[in-house]
Amino acid sequence: MCFYSSVYAQVNRSIRVTVLNDKKVALPGSTLYLLTADSVNIRTAAANVAGTIQFTEINAGKYLVKASELGHEEGFSKLLDLEKNDSATDTIILKTKTGLLKDVTVIAKKAFVQFLPDKTVINPEANITNAGATVMDILEKSPGITVGKDGSLIMKGKPAVTVFIDGKPTQLSGAELQAYLSGMSASQVDVVELIENPGAKYDASGNAGIINIKTKANKQRGFNGSLNVSYGQGVYAKTGNTLNLNYREGKMNWFMNYSVRANTEFQNIWTLRTYFNKQRQDSALLEQPNFGKNKASGQNFKTGLDFFVSNSTTVSLVFTGNIFDRQGNFRSAINWMNPKHQVDSTINTLGENNTEFKRGGVNLSGRHQIDKNSEFSFDIDYVKFNIANDQNYQTQLLVPGSGVLATKGNTPSMLDITTLKVDYSKRFKKLLLETGLKTAINKTDNLAEYYYLDNNNWLQDLSRSNHFLYNEKISAVYASVDAEKGKWHWQTGLRYEFTSYKANQLGNAVVKDSAFNKNYGSVFPTAFVSYAADSNNMITFRTGRRIDRPPFQFLNPFLRTLNKYTYEGGNPFIKPQYTWNFALAHTYKQMLTTELSYGYLRDYFSQVFIIDSSSRNVNKNIIIYTRGNVGSFQNIGISETYQVPLNKWWNVTAAAVFNHKTIKGVVWAPITVKISQLNVSLNNQFQFKKGWGAEISGYYQTKSQIDLQEWLEPQGELNLGVSKVVLKGKGSLKLSIRDITYFQNYSGYSTFQNSYEPFKIQWDSRVARVNFSWRFGKTMKAVKRSEGGATDEINRAGSGN
């Protein structure tokens, strides 16, 4: 703070820039970059409602300002001299895109985080330690994002985040989403958008908001591309490689993105389940150490064609594919002990759990500009999932004469998603009207086949085998209005969604058939108001109602073996949960943003630990991990984000998020938990001469409440990185080390009806990586491409990991 004060005690030099389109109309919300004379980005900001921004407290020197806005070509100011003058002004005119840009080489470095009024934008390539990393690694150190031990994502203390890939929901959650994002290279990503209160045009799913991961897509005449190769070494080796290609000629544009990853990982789990009697006295201890080793490989593929029918009409066809394969083996020595920790018996378990996840999709989309003020677009999506899971376990009690108990299971799943979406927008003088329709049809088919070994013969375990079918249809209509007047900018919208589903649990000789269906509809209003008091201060208020439907794999009633005394199962009767979110934010000079927020969630579905009530659990020592609607969730939050260049070569981004949570629910009895928690993150980016750069970054999370029955102890991460520009600016070498202190692991405890369980989970998180990237061909220019209509549906699918 002393260093900061000494720097800014100098003369208050400033630059004021106004951004207009080619019709001399202001472009509010356009992004402006303050660059040094050698094109190094030192500050990023958004224009106010008048299209104006004022950069203040600038050191003496010569500067440029770059402006960009969707649908317009980039523009630059003249060279602004603050060596002889204390202030400078200029106006940048951005031309509307009617064709292709000429070759432009932009060597300015993006800020790692951009704090805009309606969202936070993460630029992965601006962070050295993201080289060779995964998308999950990016999210783990994004401001306000917390990752649970089961892979669940929490944004600013609120659960149930919907994750989009290029505007399409991944349909994954928990461990399945974690596996998918862990197989996706960070080098595939252009930006990550954190949207806390999406407008009415977005699907209403995701109580905490939306994380939209935009992959790289380019349209530049001729041939161009990029290659990223990385190697990482933790306890085991890891590698990740990405190739991006683009070719544009005439009215056709072809693009392709391919990545492949191969990792060997370990997971070391320790739990000590303590059972107590009716007098709440300890009666028995169950220690469950577990060491697992996984070999995982993932491939992601995306290719497509854009056909420019005319200057006002574009049709696109995009194919996507994902293959993920994980082969896991584990060993465990389970110890039963008395309250004095004296071992009564030991049970050895060997097992394997293999997953093969395949996903293929096709999107046909079109955009037509009816006139200069109106546009029509459509999206047709079809996505298919094929997921194969198999489990094999061998358990033996270490006493004379005991035999081996062997079980195996096969749980394949299939999911078909079909969506149709149409949108229409019309701009009036100072008002934008948007409206649209969407229909999504989801069909799932889940089979569970379990067997046990009896006298060297595999017999089907009918008590656990089953067949579950689930069909769902969601229809939606929305309308929103965006307007501005003077210093005010507001947006309001209304969305209606109607859901109908049918579920059928096919039984057998032991399990009875069951079927159920339900229809429900709801209205989801959203609103956004901002007031630009002056060029330095902006106040924003956001509110909206949202829904979170249970992921498909949460509805599947099958039991899955975690170990001899712990199972995981779905709940087909989970109801959707609804939430109201409110936020009031103040932004000062695009450097400091303060936000107050409140969220109330009804019909909260939490992870739940219950005692197995079947006949095989006569000793009440088997726990089933499932989900259910338990009650309500309230969150009061305060966040501070700060981003400033301390000088030309040092840029600092800091964020602090404080949350106070109150969770009320009923499991075996009414439970209320309250907790206050803090998440702080700091990112230092250094830019030196001759193409050298460095990074020091990290985060720290205090003790936190993940769910009604589970707590996490403090955790954090410290990262270091160094980079060097090579090949005359077309390539780079990066060396990074993540989690140097080996503090990014999980420890905490869970509470059950008749027991409680402290746990520790460690994995291969300390990794050193070397990464090489190379750009070839013409300079690439990112443009908007249709994001498709199956966004929400894909998010709820399971990979079967």
Which of 107-111, 280-284, 397-401, 689-693 is predicted least confidently? 107-111
- List, in sequence order, every residue forming a beta bridge with 463; answer none if it has no partner: none
- pLDDT (0 to 100) of residue 100: 40
6: Cβ contacts below 8 Å, ≥ 6 apart: none
- pLDDT (0 to 100) of residue 129: 58
Residue 645 scores a pLDDT above 90: no
Q: Does residue 232 or residue 505 have the better pLDDT? A: 232
Choose from 26-35, 80-89, 274-283, 760-769 the range with maximum mean pLDDT: 760-769
178 φ, ψ (degrees, to nearest 5): -60, -40
Domains 1-98 and 213-786 share a fold: no
Q: How far apart are CA 568 and CA 560, in angstroms?
A: 5
Q: Does residue 104 or residue 425 have the better pLDDT? A: 425
Q: How far apart are CA 593 and CA 570, in angstroms?
A: 41
Do residues 462 and 510 lie in contact, with contact meaning Cβ atoms separated by under 8 Å? Answer: yes
DSSP secondary structure letters along 665-716 = EESSSEEEEEEEEEEEEEEEEEE-GGGEEEEEEEEEE-SEEEETTEEE--EE
Which of 181-185, 501-505, 570-574 is predicted least confidently? 181-185
Q: Does residue 194 or residue 71 have the better pLDDT? A: 194
Residue 363 scores a pLDDT above 50: yes
- pLDDT (0 to 100) of residue 107: 45
Torsion of CA 272, 276, 282, 288, to 10 degrees: -20
CA atoms within 13 A on the CB side of 347: 16
Residue 655 scores a pLDDT above 60: yes
Q: Two tokens at 748?
A: 């905490």
For the segment 393-440, what is each residue's pLDDT rounded down to a tens digit? 888 877 656 677 888 888 888 999 999 999 999 988 778 899 999 999
Q: How far apart are CA 627 and CA 575, in angstroms?
A: 11
689: Cβ contacts below 8 Å, ≥ 6 apart: none
Q: How far apart are CA 137 and CA 232, in angstroms?
A: 13
Do residues 21 and 71 lie in contact, with contact meaning Cβ atoms separated by under 8 Å? Answer: no
- pLDDT (0 to 100) of residue 271: 92
For the segment 318-331, what is each residue's pLDDT rounded down to a tens digit? 999 989 899 999 89
Residue 460 scores a pLDDT above 60: yes
Q: How far apart are CA 435 and CA 481, in angstroms?
A: 9
Q: Is the dihedral of CA 37, 38, 44, 49 positive or negative?
A: positive
Q: How far apart are CA 529 and CA 543, in angstroms?
A: 9
* Amino acid at position 79, single letter: L
* Superfamily covering domain 213-786: TonB-dependent receptor, beta-barrel domain (2.40.170.20)
Residue of 636, 646, 524 whose CA lies nearest to 591 = 646
Q: Does residue 360 or residue 206 have the better pLDDT? A: 360
Q: Does residue 139 or residue 483 have the better pLDDT? A: 483
Domain assignments of the chain as residue spans, ordered by start = 1-98, 213-786
477 φ, ψ (degrees, to nearest 5): -140, 145
CA atoms within 13 A on the CB side of 383: 33
Q: Two tokens at 790?
A: 């199956």
CATH number of 1-98: 2.60.40.1120
Torsion of CA 621, 622, 623, 625, to 10 degrees: 170
Estimate to the nearest angstrom the gap between the alpha carbon of 383 and the chain centroid: 20
Buried b (16+ CB within 10 A) or exposed e, 765-780: bbbebebbbebebbeb
Residue 623 scores a pLDDT above 80: yes
The pLDDT confidence band at residue 11, using thresholds 50, 70 and 90, is: low
Mean pLDDT of 792-801: 46
Which of 182-191, 392-401, 702-711 is predicted least confidently? 182-191
For the segment 287-316, what is each residue's pLDDT rounded down to a tens digit? 999 999 999 998 989 899 989 888 889 999
3-state secondary structure 502-536: EEEEECCCCCCCEEEEEEEEEEEEEEEEEEECCCC
For the segment 502-558, what is each residue's pLDDT rounded down to a tens digit? 988 887 888 788 888 889 999 999 998 988 888 788 899 999 999 988 877 778 777
Residue of 347, 332, 343 whose CA lies nearest to 284 = 343
Query: In percent, how much of the chain has pLDDT > 70?
Result: 86
Q: How far apart are CA 681 and CA 658, in angstroms?
A: 12
- pLDDT (0 to 100) of residue 399: 63
For the chain, give the mean pLDDT. Answer: 83
For the segment 587-602, what is each residue's pLDDT rounded down to a tens digit? 888 788 899 999 999 9
Residue 30 scores a pLDDT above 50: yes
Q: How far apart are CA 347 and CA 72, in angstroms?
A: 67
Q: Write out the H or E segment, with its range, that includes residue 253.
A: strand 252-276
Q: Two tokens at 375?
A: 């546009």
Q: How far is CA 338 from CA 16, 147, 152, 206, in A?
A: 73, 35, 35, 45
DSSP secondary structure letters along 736-800 = EEE-TT----EEEEEE-SSEEEEEEEEES--EEEEEEEEEEESPP-B------S-HHHHHT----
Which of 106-120, 247-261, 626-640 is predicted least confidently? 106-120
712: Cβ contacts below 8 Å, ≥ 6 apart: 148, 149, 701, 703, 704, 705, 706, 746, 747, 748
Residue of 236, 113, 137 whose CA lies nearest to 187 = 137
Per the document, the length of the chain is 801
CB neighbourhood size of 305 (10 A): 13
Which of 11-15, 72-76, 126-130, 280-284 is predicted least confidently? 126-130
Q: How far apart are CA 82 and CA 4, in angstroms?
A: 20
- List, in sequence order, every residue forming a beta bridge with 718; answer none if it has no partner: 698
The SS3 of residue 274 is strand
- pLDDT (0 to 100) of residue 582: 94
- pLDDT (0 to 100) of residue 99: 45
Tokens 């990029």 locate to 226
- Report the greatest alpha carbon distance in the chain: 93
Residue 105 scores a pLDDT above 60: no
Choose from 471-480, 650-659, 715-724 the range with maximum mean pLDDT: 471-480
Q: How far is CA 444 from CA 325, 417, 511, in A?
A: 21, 9, 20
The pLDDT confidence band at residue 792, using thresholds 50, 70 and 90, is: low
Torsion of CA 710, 713, 714, 717, to 10 degrees: -80
The pLDDT confidence band at residue 778, using thresholds 50, 70 and 90, is: low
- pLDDT (0 to 100) of residue 702: 92
- pLDDT (0 to 100) of residue 252: 86
Residue of 520, 528, 524 whose CA lies nearest to 494 = 524
279: Cβ contacts below 8 Å, ≥ 6 apart: none
